[in-house]
Structure formats: C-alpha cells, structure tokens
Amino acid sequence: MSEFNLVTDLSRQECCPMAVFTPLTESDVRSLLADYPVGDLVGFEGIAAGIENSNFFIDTTSGRFVLTIFERLSAQHLPAYLGLMRHLAAYGIPCPDPVARQSGELQATLQGKPCALVTRLPGQSIERATTDHCARVGALLAAMHCAAAHFTTMPGNPRSRRWWEQTAPQVHRFLDTSQCALLESEMADQQAFSASADFAALPGGPVHADLFRDNVLFGELRPGETAPPLSGVIDFYFAGRDSWLYDLAVTANDWCIDETSGEFDRDRLEALLAAYRCERPLTAPEARAWPAMLRAAALRFWLSRLHDLHCPRPAEVIQPKDPTHFERILRARRRHVPAPD
C-alpha cells in the first residue's frame, strides 16, 4: 500500500495538512502492532497538531491509541518520558499510559526511529478558556508537580536557557531592529535572573513545560456545571527537570491572556493561581521571581516559533505557528505583571 496522510477507514484515503516527518503505510503500522497486545488494525490517521514529532491516531479492535515517532528525541532518552507518564498515571493524573510490547518494553523502533504507543484519552481541547477551565488546569498542574516530585530520573529541560543561547544567534538575522533590541535586552535580563539568589532557591522537579490549551482535554459538560470535567493532559515530550514556577508561567501565558494584546485577563489568572496555590502554595522566592519567569516563558516560545518558522526541518507538510504571538506576550510582560498573590 502506498504512503498516505490520513486514513480513518482502511478502504479510503484523504489528505490533510499536518506535521508528519515520517509518513507511514498500512504495512508499517500492522507490522508494529503485531508486537503489541492491542488487537488488529482498523484505521489510522496523522495528527495535524504538533511540529516536533510525527503523531498518528491508531484504532484497533481493542481500543484507541496514539503512536508517536520521535524525530529528534533519542532512544536512550525516551524511557524517562514514558516513565514519567506511567508514574503520573499511577498517582491518578489523567495522562496517556504507555502500552508495553510483548517483551515488556515501552518503546519500539519504526523506520529506524524510536516510537511509542500510548492510550488515547477521551475529550477535546478548547480554544477559549473560562475561569472554570483555568481553575481546573491550575489544580491539575499543582497535582502533577506534587506527584512528579517523586520521579527522580528525569533529564533537564530540553528547551532550557542553554538552548535559548544556542538558538538566539540562529534567528537574529531574521529580526528587524526593534525585535533585535527586544531579544538582546531580554536575554541579558534572563542571564542576570538566572544568576540571582531567588532563581537558585526556586523549588522544582519534572515539569510538563508545554501545558497549552491544545494539550489539555475536557469531557462533556455535565448538568449544573459551568465547565466540563478535565479528562486528560497530553504531550509530555518537552518535559524535563526545571522550576515549577516556570511550568506555571508557561501555562498562565497561554490560558489567561487576551489574544489580541497579550495582556492577562485578571479573572482567569486569579482563578489559575488560586487553584494552584490550594494544592501547592508558592514560596517567597517564587513570588518575587514571578515577573521574570513569565518573561522567561514568553521568550522560550518566541524563540522556538522563530526557529520553527525560519529554520524548519523537511517535512511532508508543516504548519509553523506565528512567532509574533509570543513577541506580543513578551512585550506585555515587560510592561506590567500582576503579583501572584
């Protein structure tokens, strides 16, 4: 069978735009699934979201799964990510659970690249967050941090400050004068922040580092409730050891903003932070570091989107995200940040 981008029923083919760096055939998928106790293949489709790995929905006679082919992550680092998901699932966090092969291993190889099959969670992501959504996410994030504190084999954040320092020179030539000044100024501020006593005192552990709205799933709205139940958190493949405040800042910069201005919606931000603090109160150094960490989180995603746009990898079809969104957020954070209390 020839390569195809989207197959929901094996009797037909359709195309859709997506980031699929490693296209698959029906034969590829059937061969892989033969080593898993998941029944027979019914259908599969490439997932349009994401620009880092190749992802596919897999339907079998025993259930629904997600297959990820890792385009950059090495096989030796993959056990930590899969182990974190299994650890969090054991603590009651609604996240994908890796499926073990017949040999017991949680990872495999497909077309010479490491891959993993995980359970597919119910629910849908949302585009517009309410205060209720933000409260649920804040509570979930704090619970994840508390549970992940017991997982000690996680490597460092792959998009840490060292990555910023490597990436900034690569994108610098694509920026105008104002953008160059912003990047240079914020990089200098972040270097000073990372050398401060407050930065050194920040508590941390394994973090998700990418808890955007498209990585959180909600179920159906129940009678009498103003927001549907949170049914899952997905895509742990940017996870790593970092400060918990950084993870909170990444989340706030996506869930609690006005999309046009990048400024915070105060009600949503308060809902997120209040729910988080109920599970894990912030320390004094965290409260003082909040403005700088919000800028750090904005800078990280501005840099990554600039890099994805101007220095893309070859892919079947790719949809880079707009870097000006996080440029706008970074400028807004430099103007004003409300206190976390």
**Would you say residue 17 has pLDDT above 80?**
no
**Would you say residue 224 has pLDDT above 90?**
no
Quick one: pLDDT at residue 2? 33
The class of domain 6-119 in CATH terms is alpha beta
Quick one: pLDDT at residue 21? 81
Quick one: pLDDT at residue 143? 98
**Would you say residue 217 has pLDDT above 70?**
yes
**Three-state SS letters, the chain:** CCCECEECCCCCCECCCCCCCCCECHHHHHHHHCCCCCCCEEEEEECCCCCCCEEEEEEECCEEEEEEECCCCCCCCHHHHHHHHHHHHHCCCCCCCECCCCCCCCCEEECCEEEEEEECCCCECCCCCCHHHHHHHHHHHHHHHHHHCCCCCCCECCCCHHHHHHHHHHHHCCCCHHHHHHHHHHHHHHHHHHCCHHHHCCCEEEECCCCCHHHEEECCCCCCCCCCCEEEECCCCCCEEEEHHHHHHHHHHHHCECCCCCCECHHHHHHHHHHHHHHCCCCHHHHHHHHHHHHHHHHHHHHHHHHHHHCCCCCCCCCCCCCHHHHHHHHHHHHCCCCCC
**What are 49-67's pLDDT values in tens digits?**
666 789 999 999 999 999 9
Domain boundaries, the chain: 6-119, 131-335
Superfamily (CATH H level) for 131-335: Aminoglycoside phosphotransferase (APH), C-terminal lobe (3.90.1200.10)
Quick one: pLDDT at residue 222? 84
Quick one: pLDDT at residue 318? 60
